[in-house]
Each structure stands twice: as C-alpha cells, then as structure tokens.
Amino acid sequence: MEETFYITTPIYYVNAEPHLGHAYTTILADSLSRFHKMQGKRTFFLTGTDEHGDKIMQSARERGEDAQEYADRVSRQFRELWPELNIDYDRFIRTTDPDHVACVQRFLQLVYDNGDIYFGEYGGYYCFGCERFFTEKELEDGNCPDHQKPPEYIQETNYFFRMSRYQEWLRGYIQDNPDFIQPERYRREVLAMLREPLDDLCISRPKSRLEWGIELPFDSGYVTYVWFDALLNYISALGWPEGEDYVRFWPAAHHLVAKDILKPHAIFWPTMLRAAGVPLYRGLRVHGYWKVHEEKMSKTLGNVVRPLELRSKYGLDAFRFFLLREMQFGHDGNFSEEGLIGRFNADLANDLGNLFSRCLAMTGKYFGASAPPHPDDLDLEREDEELLQLGRDYLEKYLQCFEAVHTAEALEWLMEFVRGVNKYIDTTAPWSLYKQGYTQRLQTVLALALASLRRIALALRPVMPDASHTMCEQLGLDLGSLDVDLRQECSEWVFLSEGTRVAKKSNLFPRQELKLEREGAGEGKHASGQKKNKAGKEKAESKQGSESEQTPEIDFTDFQKLDMRVGRVEGASPHPDADRLLQLEVDAGEGYTRRIVAGLAEAYSPQDLVGRHVTVLANLKPRKLRGVTSHGMVLAVHGEQGLSLLAPDQVVSPGDKIS
C-alpha cells in the first residue's frame, strides 16, 4: 500500500502579520513534508488562515475595513510570504472558503443529529481577545490573564457540545497511545487537565452579538464558535467525508502546533471527531515558544521579528537552519541575531563550508576536478572503516531524530558527522599522500570524502533546499534524474561515479557578521555583540606560556582587544584523541554554546566541570587541537598545587564581561 504523510500547521489568525513564530511552525512543517517525501511517501502539507470570530471583526472595525476585505488582505500576506521562505504547501485553506463552510455545516448537523449538541443558557465572563469564557478562578485580579483587561459578563442562550461525555474515553485513549501527543511533557499536561471535570463546550454565538462566522445549519440565529469552525479545516481541506485526499491522507495526519493551543487540539478536537464518528488524527506534535532576547515577542515591546528582514540580511538558508537547529523541540527557544550568526559561523561556515571547500579544492588539484574511482573493499584501512561506520550510525540517528521532530538533535548528529569527516581528512592528510605519490590511497580517501559530501548534501535538503541544491550541483550530481531515497542514502554508501566533474572551488557559507539596522530593543546586547565580532576579526596577539618577565608590554588598546567573559560549562567530555584535553560546551551568553577544547583533564573530570562558571577568552581565532576545533580558550592558573580554574567569586551570569 502507498505510504502517506499528512502534516498541518495551525491556521493563523488574520489579525496580526506573519512573524517569526508563524514562520517557525510553517518552516518546520515544510521540512517534515520534504523529509517524508524524500522517503518515497506521498505527502500533503496544509496551512492557511483562521478568519472568523470577534477578534477579527474588531480588528477590521478598528481599521475601518469590511471584515471580508480585511481578511483577504492579511490572508494574502501569509499566503504570499510562504513561498518566499521556500515553503512548499499543497493547500492554503481559508475558513471563508466555500468548501470549508459547507464542511463545517455538514459536521455540525451530523453531531447535532447524533444528539451531542444541545441548547442551553449560559452566563459567564467573556474575554473578546481570547474569544472564550473564563471561570472566576481563572481570572487574575478580575482580569483576563493574557490581556490584563476585565472580561465582560455575558448571559445568553447558546448551543453546547457535549464534550464532557467523552472525557473518560479520551483519558483512556491518551494513556493507551503514548505517541498520540508528544513531547511527553505536553501529554502529561493534557492528562492533568483531564483529571479535572471537563465542561461542555459552548459552540455558538448569537448573531445579535456577532455575525462574522459560519451560520449553524440548524438555527439561523447563530454562528459557529471560531474554534469549532477552525479545527475542522484539517479535514475540510481534504474533502471530508468522500474526498480522495481525505481517504488517502487522513489516516496519516500529524498536527504541528505550539503550546498555546494545546487544549483545543488535544481535547476539543479529538472529542469532536469522536462525536462525529471520524477516526482520530495520528499525532499531535507540540513545540515551545520563541522568545526574543529572553522576552516575549510583542508589538508593545517592539521586538517582533520579521522573517523577510532576516532573510534579506543573512540569507534564507541561514534562517531556516538556525530555527531548526536552535529550538529544542518542546522547549522555548531564544532568538537573537547574535545566536543566528554564531550558529551560522560555527556549523555552516567553519565546519560544513570548510569541509566542502577543502574537499573540492583537493579534488581539483589532485584529480583535475573529476571524481576518483570507487575504492575496493580490500583497500580500506582502519580510518576508512571508521568513517563508514560513523556515516551509518550518525545518519541513522539523524533520521530517527528528524522523524520524531527533534530537528535540533538531528542536525547535531549531522554536524557530528561533518566534524567526523573533517577529522578524517586531517588524519589521512591527502596533501602528504599526494606529495609522497600514494595515488591509490589518495583516490580512496577523496572518493570517501566526496561520498560523505553527497550524503550530507542530500540529508540537508529538507532543511536548506537551496544550499542543498548548490551542494549537489558542485558535486556534479544530475539533479533531474536524482530520485533520492533518503533512508537508502543514509544506510548505504553511494560514491560519485568515476569521472564526475565536480566544482573546483566552493564558497557555500562565507562567514557572516552581525548586521544591525534596527535601533531600540536589545540595543545594548547588540552593541556588545558587534564589538565582539569586530574584535574577533583582528588578530589575537597573545603569546601563550611565556614567563611574565619576557612578556612584551602592551598598550591598553591591545588589552581592549581581548573579549574575556564569563562562561558556564553546559557539557563536557573527554577529547577523543588526547588524554590531556577535554571538550567543553560553554554558554558565553551568546544564545548558543561554543565548543572549547581545554587542557584541563589532569585536574578535572568532565563531571566536575558541568555547571561551573569559567573565564573565557572568546575572540581567540578558532584553532584545531588534535582534530577538534576550539572556539576560544578557558583560562586557568598553573599554581604550585597544579592546575586550577580561574573563576569569579561572586554570582555572575554567562556573558558578563571581564575587564
């Protein structure tokens, strides 16, 4: 049977312009759709806009626009933005689309006929911003906790969906099907909600109060509550109940949402489906929130991040890569341009870009830019076998993590592989094989390196479609006929055909610097980041290990060139190749962790170091220490008792400057 995959994003309200948060969910969905497509599955990727309800009506009114015109205008902004971010959706649905409206009415009628919708009176505190009633307990000092405004008391007759009837069934279902809601913390949150009595859901609004909605099929005096309308987009888009797409894709449905809309997706939606006798979706995947410089993104704070601005400053691939690499799925992530640049320079410019450029340059120099013959199994040496193994293991992990939507871990495995290939090149030293005339060995090494590049290029395709395309072109891969099966690519080694013409040069990811145009929010932080980068470009002139008497005098301006700051060790492990060295992952307040290789193993074990504050020289040029690149230095004292870390004796935070 044909394998399918169906992925959806929330449909976004049209009362705000698209920003980083919307872009993240949609880019993530796009990358998942591409990832599954590359495994031979037939995929359907749905996104769109949610256009009915009080909130939209009010925003339209504030702007003096008609609700439909207003919705058309903002919906278009979303629809037109996505292709600019290389987002390749299959359908963009609007809740004002006639087929959606018909589907909502049909669904309501069905549930009504089944006896799960009743008419009743209700009085309660209603927040227009949230479009829902609040209990007194939920209010903070009488205010809506989100909008900090007092809700209005409203008493009216309405239609209710008998949601409470499905509470026990849903609890059992979630308990028996651990994969239904993931990550686990959100599954537990939903189970906790279901331990409290569940109220029935008010699913209508009288037209006397709100006209902007879908009319109830069984009472023309009412429109449908916006959530009951919006959730149905996931099946209306497929042509429920008879549509071919519905039959094909609904059994493989995965919804991607952030934590803000967990309850409607984890409780309203499954109970609605159950009441209508529609099978449940396969999985709900819930991510955290992007903050900006650790603060909530909001218009009032003036820190709303616009995706197109970032694209034009740093390039689309850098933006997509950063979002998927940085956000630990399920947790909140922190967005900063410094963080983006840091990741870009560390992973893409230093590790991946450098690997491509050195391998292609060597193929150019030693083999006239044509791929050498495939190695014979019998010719393989220990390093080669190790690289093959690494390629299999790490890429398998890449696939597993991607499948589970843990893209940050997936990309970390892929970058580990990149670093492994860089190390392989350092150890096998093709330049000396060339000098010594070991041609056959040189062929083997470069054939393996190029096969590694091919894998990396293909594995990155769901994340960075453009860069992956360029990498494939540089490797002389015939893109037209390249029908890739990602699983196969990751488990079997595919060599470039002998004689394939590859590019002589590659400059995929030139190092980037912060580009600051905006004034205002976060200026202080930006300014220090900028200084750091500028300083980073200048040559560090420190001399290591020399005695103080021999040290030349320096000017104060020389001292100012040193970017010394407090770092916190987030992770530590032994260096794979040197007993004296440890590899540290250090948070130096830049929004990402940097890897620093330090000669501390004689005095500290990795466990001793995790969680400790250290002094970091941050703008030391990256250098390789036994095959691992170190981005900075950790300072220590060589005292009589041995080695001891230089650390502040007061409470400090990562990134605090040392002067």
Give the pair of three-digit tokens for residue 171: 């609890």
10 part of the interface to ligand MSP, by CB under 6 A:
yes
Catalytic-residue membership of 296: yes
- How far is residue 397's CA from residue 414's CA, in Å, rounded to a whole number? 9
Our finding on whether 290 is near ligand MSP (CB under 6 A) is yes
CB of 324 to ligand MSP, least distance (A): 13
Contact range with ligand MSP by CB under 6 A, out of 194-202, 256-264, 415-423, 469-477: 256-264
- φ, ψ of residue 286 to 5 degrees: the values are -115, 125
Residue 453 C-beta: closest distance to ligand MSP, Å: 33
Examine residue 132 and tell whether it contacts ligand MSP (CB under 6 A). no
- Angle among Cα 561, 565, 569 to the nearest 5 degrees reads 140
**Binding residues among 155-214 for ligand MSP as defined by CB under 6 A:** none
Residue nearest to ligand MSP (CB): 21
**Rounded-to-integer distance, Cα 295 and Cα 293, Å:** 6
- Catalytic residue status for 621: no
Between CA 487 and CA 34 the distance in angstroms is 13
Mark whether 534 is an active-site residue.
Answer: no
Backbone angles phi, psi at 12, to 5 degrees: -85, 145
* Polymer length in residues for the chain: 659
- Which is nearer to ligand MSP, 257 or 360 (by Cβ)? 257
Quick one: which of 322, 357, 388 has its CA closest to 471?
357
- Does 231 help bind ligand MSP (rule: CB under 6 A)? yes
Q: Applying CB under 6 A, does 107 fall inside the site for ligand MSP? A: no
* Cis before 241 (ω within 30): yes
Part in contact with ligand MSP (CB under 6 A); list of ranges 4-12, 107-115, 150-158, 475-483: 4-12
> 36, 37, 100, 127: which one is catalytic?
127
CB-nearer residue toward ligand MSP: 240 or 394: 240
Select from 218, 289, 431, 434 the one that contacts ligand MSP (CB under 6 A): 289
Cα angle 154, 156, 159 (rounded to 5 degrees) comes to 125
Q: Are 8 and 253 in contact (CB under 8 A)?
A: yes
Q: Tell me if residue 365 falls in helix, strand or coil.
A: helix
Q: Does 261 bind ligand MSP (CB under 6 A)?
A: yes
Provide the minimum distance between the beta carbon of 50 and ligand MSP in the complex, in angstroms, as a whole number.
Answer: 3
Is 295 a binder of ligand MSP (CB under 6 A)? no
Catalytic status, residue 19: yes
What x-and-dash track marks residues 34-73 binding ligand MSP by CB under 6 A?
----------------x-----------------------
Neighbours of 351 (CB within 10 A): 18
Q: State the minimum distance, in angstroms, from the CB of residue 230 to ligand MSP.
A: 4
Active-site residue (options: 37, 55, 100, 144) = 144
Q: SS3 string of 427-489?
A: HHCHHHHHHHCCHHHHHHHHHHHHHHHHHHHHHCCCCCHHHHHHHHHHCCCCCCCCCCCHHHH
* 134 contacts ligand MSP (rule: CB under 6 A): no
Q: How far is the CB of 518 from ligand MSP (least distance, A)?
A: 18
Q: Which of 110, 130, 193, 297 binds ligand MSP (CB under 6 A)?
A: 297
d(CA 177, CA 172): 8
The set of residues, in sequence order, having a beta carbon less than 8 Å from that of 546 and lying 6+ positions away, is none
Selected catalytic residue, list 296, 537, 621, 657: 296
Tell me the C-alpha distance between 581 and 597, whole Å. Answer: 7
Determine which residue in the list 6, 21, 107, 303 makes contact with ligand MSP, applying CB under 6 A.
Answer: 21
> How far does Cα 32 stand from its chain's mean position?
11
**Least distance to ligand MSP, CB of residue 116, Å:** 20
**Does residue 478 belong to the site contacting ligand MSP (CB under 6 A)?**
no
Contact 430, 438 (CB under 8 A): no
Strands (E), 452-552: none
Sign of the CA dihedral 149, 154, 158, 164? Answer: positive
Is 22 among the catalytic positions? yes
Task: Check if the beta carbon of residue 658 is closer than 8 Å to that of residue 618.
Answer: no
Site membership for ligand MSP, residue 408 (CB under 6 A): no
Q: Which of 74, 81, 237, 258 binds ligand MSP (CB under 6 A)?
A: 258
- 130 catalytic? Reply is yes
Q: Is 127 a catalytic residue?
A: yes
Catalytic center residues: 19, 22, 127, 130, 144, 147, 296, 299
Provide the binding-site residues for ligand MSP, judged by CB under 6 A: 10-13, 21-22, 24-25, 50, 230-231, 233, 257-258, 260-261, 289-290, 297
